Amino acid sequence: MKPSFTTFVPRSLIAMALAFPLTFTANAKPLPESATMEVEFTLPKIETSMYARPYVAVWIEDAKRKPIRTVQLWVGKDEWLKDLRSWWRKVGRYDRELVDAVTSATRPAGEYRFVWDGLNDDGERVEQGDYTFYAEVVREHGGRNYLRQKMTLGEEAVTYELAPTEETGSISLSYKPQA
């Protein structure tokens, strides 16, 4: 007969393991009430005979890569939403009401400024922590650029700069915890 081994785990250790996730989420703090992130976004003038205004999706994901907020969506017709492949796969095909709520017309070359208010798509303030800013820019008869910037948002102001690409000029992200 083979010997059997029994593993003894103290109850206090089991209790700590079960309590840890509760303690972790209980300590999460929301972004400050007046926190905002200002986005300065440039669409460069591109000289070509076949120029079409680009389709643009700008969104935020949490540390688990879950989309939490579509900040901007510039598309001419619904049939072109799928051209924003990454955004479409993550968000667009699942939430028709959101698409209708945030979609606006495409924009010509120029400088744009918009603000993310620190809320998710349900209007709830998000927690302090790690996030990723995404911008997807696609132009018919043109290029496709998919940009991302990891960010840590909390009590301190931070600024991030994304380098220009074929379809975008520079993009500046300025997080301010206080107005």
State the pTM of this model: 0.79
- What is the set of domains in the chain, with CATH numbers? 30-176 (2.60.40.4070)
Residue 127 pLDDT class (50, 70, 90 cuts): very high
| pLDDT tens figures, 73-103 | 988 776 777 788 788 788 877 676 777 677 7
Q: How far is CA 53 from the centre of its chain?
A: 22
Residue 21 pLDDT class (50, 70, 90 cuts): very low
Cα(98)–Cα(65) distance, integer angstroms:
18
For 70, phi then psi, to 5°, come to -90, 115
Q: How far is CA 172 from the centre of its chain?
A: 14
